[in-house]
Amino acid sequence: MEPFLQPLRDLPPRARRWSLVLVLLCGALLGLFVLRTFASPLYRQYQLDFGAAQWIEPAEFAPVAYFRREIFLNAEPEQAWLEAAATDSFKIIINDTTVGTETNLKMRVAQIYDVKRFLKPGTNVIAISVVRNSYPGSAQLLVCGGFKEPGGNTGSFISDEQWRVTPRTGIVQGTEEWVSPLVQEQVWPNARRATIMEHPVYITWVERNPLLLRLPPSGKWIRAENASREATFSASINAERARPETWIQVASSGSLDLLVNGKLITGVASSPLKEPKTPSLPRLTSEPSEKEKTEMTTQPPAIVRPPQNLKPPPTPRPSASPSPASSPSATAAPAHSESIPELMATSSQKPTLDAYDISYWIKKGPNTIVATVRNTQGPARFLATGFMVRKDGNIQQFETNSDWRVSDQQGAQKQHAVEAGSNGSAPWGYLTQQLHSPVNLSDFDVVAKPVAVILLTIIGTIALWLLASRFVAAKTHEALRYALARDALFHAPITVGLLFLLLPRYDFRFPIDWPFQPKFVVLAIVALLGVRLLHFLPRRRITANLSAQIIYCWQ
Amino acid sequence: MNIGKRVELWAGVGASIWAAHWLLFVGSFLVFSSAILKWLNFPFSHHPRGLQLPLLRNIELLPHLSLLSYGVLGVCVLATGLALLWRSDTFLAVAAAILIAFWAAAPCQIAFQQPALIRRLNAETQDLPMIRGFAKSYLPVNYGPAEEYSKHFELDTVWDRFVAAYSFLGLGWYCFGIGSLLIATYSIGRLPGERGTTALALGGIPIGVLIIFLTPPLMGQHYFISACTAQARGNNEKAITSYRKAMWWDRWRRQDINIYATIGDLERLSGSGEDSPERHISRAQELKEAREYESAVFELSRAVAWGGAVAIASRCESARTRVDFGIALYNGGGIGAAVTQWQQALIEDPVQQQGLAFLIARGNYDLGRYQASLDALNGILKASGDKPLLANAYSLAGDCYTKLGRDTDARRSYNLSLKEDILVNFWAMSALTGN
């Protein structure tokens, strides 16, 4: 090692310092790219497709606008989704229940929501308030949504001039809230098509693959033949390549531990359900005063404020447990005579369909999915549905069915699972879909792997620098220190290029993982190798002078 | 020699001494001053100083001077190093290495050796919005914009806990570290002979300390991951064994109620451990989720009877359950019963549930027990270092005095409230102006 590093000592101190800084910086940046591209990729982001929807705005200039639209459903939908984009910030309220809010100043924020639990048979009000703070201009909105009813009827809605919009609500005291279905929509002005100067119109990226909500619900509830309370379900899915984009949505009747190729995706011990939660804020329950009612009608969205100096009901209830009224979500103790679906429906909370991006753990060939469900109050049931994006862009779906294998705690013998109804069947019906991140319990993944990848890349870059310089010095019969200094300089354009590549990460027009693509890493490595050909350019006087000038400048 | 020349001479001597030893002077100043600076930033408790942060045991509710504290030991080590400097420079280098070891040990000890402390810090962070929000919802005139506290820590991995502990460290710790590094640089520069070898050898002291601190939690984490994986594969026996190994290695896991509950669930499904503390905890969790709080507390009391680490974890969980129970009772109108539950929670876990004192004071005020409310508020005023919380406590005390007819005391309390928080303290302002 000593003779290998000796030429570094021959360099003038300033040249040595700057050479090392350049090479180390280049190595560290390249290490970051290698890490984020191959070893620890960032999460994916998606651009929403709004189809034929139009940007709409109030007829008159209004930076704050309240949009609404009524849709009619014959039955509770089995699938319903809503995509929205707006200037700066928006809040979506469906049937008086807040679906979600998004805020990001100076941008057109976007999001997609699963709204099936907010919709009901009959007239439904979709109300969206948009506030534009960043620069002059009216609040603008873009909406696209769809739903599917049990009979197979499908419907869709998009933002257009049929939407109603007003910059003020509650003009008359005592009228209904602006989100109420009782509001006379006819008296509200129509929205108009927005005039947008910028082309193309960029909206922010979202973290949820829209296909999770747009694809029709699938999958069967499966259980063990003996309806045991604990069961381990397993299946294998084939992938035509390593790390294709793969999503899985899972639901279970009890606690769930999920493994994909041995990697823990979700686990009971790390589940937030078991985390000690901050107790909710005790709130005073009271009727708002007339004054506050007035405030509510003039200041949407309404904020219910307790009246001044109001005390809670003064009659303490020394009951052992809180009254049912105070705990509406309290669950009753299950009766033993109930049927299994009823028992499950009453003994545990309604499960949700939790979506995980498992792309990173999928390898080429067969991939094993193992899920263990434990339910202390009923049979262990499991539902999974997912998809994998193929090379050609098509979707390969997979789901739980009787082909899955199941084993219980005692019996190692695996049997075929028994189907216990399809997605949407009793007792839970169609489940609410939620986005989750796989758990990461490994300090190796969090700390050691990134450090190791970056360090190894730095070491590789330095080794390449020393070797290439030696080779060049031998070939060109010049002093090694000249070759070292010149070669270190060649790292500068690569470093600058990589730094420029990082910039789109902070530009909302690009997804967050855009800079970290294999082609950029390969390009950087090829450039790092190729740039060394400059050593062998025809040696004229100017080249020799350049070497001397470099050394002189760094001295 | 006139005075001017004498001053010039002394200034020259002073400048040359400063130029030669400025690293030592600045470093020593930083280390000495760190003893009286704050080392830990609690969300609303008093922030302990270097002299008050004990090295080996947990910090108490009200921090006080400890002889075995980071501040005292740091000062002693540095003073010894400086005193022995005339004999050999190596002594100062050794002292610097020990100081760096202390500096590195502080976050590790909080993260890995004192689970109660990191839990307390985390709990206070999570309770802060509730406590302040509770005060804000008291009077509509004090209802400002919703406060957002983004500080939420994931404590799943060793790294997560280290980051959480690090984020609570205060100015004293930073001064201590910078001072130690400056002294180390100075002393290494003066070492005779092979400096590199000696520096490497001395670097072994902090590295050794880090290894001692890191090995148990890393082993614990390894077994925890094994347990989770075995559990996901349906191998309950192996999962329980691995969970127990994780708890043996890692103090944090030993006081993690979730692991006990998970073991209890697994035992229940396997039909083993009929009367184990884990079964009681598992049952208690289930009852708590079903909002049968009293039964949950009873099950936890049976787990407490087993003693040891499980008793500590169960007692904390029992206190948390009582807090939830009290809130449910309060929401249902049972304020008196709620206050009783909160008081019992405070008795069971006086350190972790300190924020409860505000709820108790408020509950007593609602019940018309103004003197009891004032007593509870006194506890907050002694133990809290959070200005908005203190302002609210003074305002509530002012309300109590008003109800008791002690207008002078009430006025004094409102003024003290304004002194703590004058910017958006509408509560005290409106009370003083009579609105």
Is there a contact between A269 and B331 if contact means CB atoms under 8 Å apart? Answer: no
Mean pLDDT of A311-328: 33
Query: Is pLDDT above 70 for A2?
Result: no
Angle value at C-alpha A121, between A118 and A122, nearest 5 degrees? 110
| Domain's final residue, options A413, A435, A457 | A435
Helix, coil or strand: residue A99:
strand
Position A322, amino acid:
P
Check CB contact under 8 Å for B265 and A376: yes
Which tokens sit at B200? 């490497």
Q: Is residue A369 part of a domain?
A: yes
- Pick the range with the lowest mean pLDDT from A29-33, A459-463, A481-485, B268-272: B268-272
Q: In angstroms, rounded to a whole number, what is the distance separating the alpha carbons of residues A260 and A236?
A: 10
Q: Which of B130, B236, B329 lies nearest to residue A322, judging by beta carbons?
A: B329
> Which domain range does residue A10 map to?
2-43+443-554
State how far the alpha carbon of A114 is from the alpha carbons of A154, A247, A384, in Å: 15, 16, 17
B366 and A232: CB-CB below 8 Å?
A: no
Average pLDDT on A528-538 reads 87
Is there a contact between A318 and B158 if contact means CB atoms under 8 Å apart? no
CB neighbours of residue A189 within 10 Å: 12
Whole-number Å distance between alpha carbons of B244 and B262: 11
> Of B158, B329, B362, B403, which to mutate for an interface test with A (greatest number of A Cβ within 10 Å)?
B329
The answer to whether residues A205 and A117 belong to one domain is: yes
Residue A531, token pair as written in the block: 């740039």
**Which residue is closest to B323 within chain A, CA to CA?**
A279
> Are A330 and B224 inside 8 Å of each other by CB?
no
Report the distance separating Cα A395 and Cα A397, nearest Å. Answer: 6
Angle between helices B236-249 and B195-232 (to 10 degrees): 150
Summarize the confidence of residues A353-371 as an average pLDDT.
Answer: 94
Does a structural domain hold residue A323? no
* pLDDT single digits (tens) A404-423: 999 876 555 678 899 988 88
Closest residue in A to B146 (Cα–Cα): A303
Coil, strand, or helix at residue B50? Answer: helix
Is the domain of A492 the same as that of A376? no
Residue A527 binned pLDDT confidence (cut-offs 50, 70, 90): very high
Residue A231 has a pLDDT of 92
| pLDDT at residue A297 in the model | 34
Same domain for A416 and A540? no
Q: Looking at the complex, does the CB of residue A216 fall below 8 Å from at least one CB of chain B?
A: no
Instruction: Provide the CA B367 distance to its chain's centre, in angstroms.
Output: 32
B160, B258, B300: which to substitute to probe chain A, counting the most A Cβ within 10 Å? B258
Matching CATH topology for B257-354 and B356-435? Answer: yes
> Cβ separation of A441 and B228 shorter than 8 Å?
yes
Q: Nearest CB to A316: which of B218, B286, B336?
A: B336
- Do β-strands A246-252 and A381-389 pair in parallel, antiparallel, or remain unpaired? antiparallel
Using CB atoms and an 8 Å cut-off, which of residues 339-378 of chain A contact chain B? 370-372, 374, 376
Q: Are residues A229 and A372 in the same domain?
A: yes
Nearest to A163 by CA among A309, A65, A20, A284: A65
- Indicate the range of A25-39, A398-412, A448-462, A476-490 predicted with least confidence: A398-412
Q: Do residues A190 and A162 lie in contact, with contact meaning Cβ atoms separated by under 8 Å?
A: yes
Give B141's contacts in chain A (Cβ within 8 Å). Answer: 308
Confidence of residue A321 (pLDDT cuts 50, 70, 90): very low
Contact (Cβ atoms closer than 8 angstroms) between residue B345 and residue B290: no
Confidence band, pLDDT 50/70/90 cuts, at residue A310: very low
Alpha-carbon span A75 to A122, nearest angstrom: 7
The residue whose two tokens read 């962070």 is B125
CA distance A57 to A195: 9
Tens digit of each residue's pLDDT (9 = 90 or more) over A156-170: 999 999 999 988 876
What are the respective helix, strand and coil percentages of chain B, to the nearest 5? 75, 0, 25
- Other C-beta atoms closer than 10 Å to the C-beta of B193 total 8
Contact A23, A107 (CB under 8 A): no
**In the 8-state DSSP scheme, what is residue A536?**
G
Which chain B residues are Cβ-neighbours of A372 within 8 angstroms? 231-234
Q: How far is the CA of A247 from the CAs of A354, A361, A365, A397, B38, in angstroms?
A: 10, 11, 17, 10, 48
Contacts of A221 (CB under 8 A, 6+ apart): A381, A382, A383, A400, A419, A420, A421, A422, A423, A425
pLDDT at A551: 63
- Answer yes or no: do A366 and A466 share one domain: no
- Of A183, A209, A235, which marks where a domain is finished? A209
Q: Alpha carbon of B310 to those of A516, B225, B242: distances in Å?
A: 47, 21, 17
Residues A532-540: contacts with CB under 8 Å, at least 24 apart: A532/A468, A532/A472, A532/A487, A532/A490, A534/A490, A535/A468, A535/A472, A535/A475, A535/A476, A535/A483, A535/A486, A535/A487, A536/A472, A536/A475, A536/A476, A539/A476
The reply to whether A6 falls in a domain is yes
Q: CA of A371, closest CA in chain B: separation in Å? A: 6
Residues A109 and A190 in one domain: yes
Last residue of a domain, one of A160, A177, A209: A209
Same domain, A412 and A520: no
What is the reported pLDDT for A335? Answer: 31
Distance from CA of A433 to the nearest CA of B (A): 22
d(CA B303, CA A382): 32
Closest approach of chain A CAs to the CA of B310, in angstroms? Answer: 16
- The dihedral over CA atoms of A488, A491, A496, A500, expressed in degrees to the nearest 10, equals -160
Would A246 be classed as within a structural domain? yes
DSSP 8-class letter at B350: T
Whether residue A318 lies inside any domain: the answer is no
Listed as ranges, residues in chain B with pLDDT below 70 are: 1, 132-151, 193, 352-354, 435
A130 part of a folded domain? yes
Instruction: Give A422's strand partners.
Output: A220
CA–CA distance, B319 with B300 (Å, rounded to integer): 10
What ipTM was predicted for this assembly? 0.78
- Chain A residues touching residue B266 (CB < 8 angstroms): 374
Chain A residue with CA closest to B335: the answer is A316
| Closest to B179 (Cα-Cα) out of B23, B50, B75, B49 | B23
CB pairs under 8 A between A and B: 174
Q: Does A393 touch chain B (CB under 8 A)?
A: no
For residue B145, say if its preceding peptide bond is cis, omega within 30 degrees of 0.
no
pLDDT one-digit tens code per residue, A231-241: 999 999 999 99
Phi-psi region of B91 (alpha: psi -120 to 50; beta: other; left: phi over 0): alpha
Does residue A164 contact residue A179 with C-beta atoms inside 8 Å?
A: no
CATH of residue A385: 2.60.120.260
- CATH tag, B257-354: 1.25.40
A219 and A202 housed in the same domain: no
CB B270 within 8 A of CB B235: no
Q: How many domains does chain A have?
A: 3
What's the CA gap between A41 and A245, in Å, rounded?
A: 12
What residue has token string 């499991």?
A: A382
Kindly give the pairing relationship between strand A64-73 and strand A164-166.
Answer: antiparallel
List, in sequence order, every residue forming a beta bridge with A84; answer none if it has no partner: A111, A143
Cβ-nearest to A318 among B126, B130, B337: B337
Superfamily, domain B356-435: Tetratricopeptide repeat domain (1.25.40.10)
Q: What is the pLDDT of residues A261-277, one digit of tens each?
A: 999 998 765 544 343 33
Closest CA to B227 of B187, B198, B256, B184: B256
Minimal C-alpha gap between B32 and chain A (Å): 34
pLDDT for A491 equals: 95
**To probe the interface with B, which of A327, A369, A441 has the most B CB atoms within 10 Å?**
A441
* Rg from Cα positions in chain A: 31
- Same domain flag for A137 and A63: yes
- Cβ contacts (< 8 Å) between B234 and chain A: which residues? 230-232, 372, 407-409
Q: How much is the pLDDT for B101?
A: 95
The two tokens of residue A374 are: 């434990």
3-state secondary structure A358-397: CHHHCCCEEEEEEEEEECCCCCCEEEEEEEEECCCCCEEE
Please check whether residue A477 lies inside any domain of the structure. Answer: yes
Please give the C-alpha separations between residue B138 and each of A311, A348, A523, B417, B419, in angstroms, as whole numbers.
Answer: 9, 35, 62, 15, 20
Q: How far apart are alpha carbons B110 and B130 in whole angstroms? A: 25
- Give yes or no for a contact between A387 and A396, defined as CB atoms under 8 angstroms apart: yes
What are the residue ranges spanned by the domains of chain B?
A: 19-119+159-214, 257-354, 356-435
| Statement to judge: residues A222 and A190 lie in one domain | no
Backbone angles phi, psi at A531, to 5 degrees: -65, -20
Q: Reduce the DSSP state of residue A513 to 3 states and report it.
A: coil
What would the pLDDT profile of A62-98 be if each residue is shown by its tens digit? 999 999 999 999 998 999 999 999 999 999 999 989 9
**What confidence tier does A300 reach under pLDDT thresholds 50, 70, 90?**
very low
Q: Do both A144 and A229 map to the same domain?
A: no
Which residues on chain A are in Cβ contact (under 8 Å) with B259? 269
CB contact under 8 A, A442 and B225: yes
Within-domain flag for A197:
yes
- CA B335, B339, B342: angle at the middle one, nearest 5? 135
Q: What's residue A312's pLDDT?
A: 33
Residue of A422, A420, A407 lying closest to A233 (CA atoms): A407
In tens, the pLDDT along A487-522 reads 999 999 999 999 999 999 888 899 999 999 999 999
**What is the model's pLDDT at position B12?**
92
Assign A32 to helix, strand or coil: helix
Domain identity same for A111 and A137: yes
Dihedral (Cα; A519, A523, A525, A527), 10-degree rounding? 180
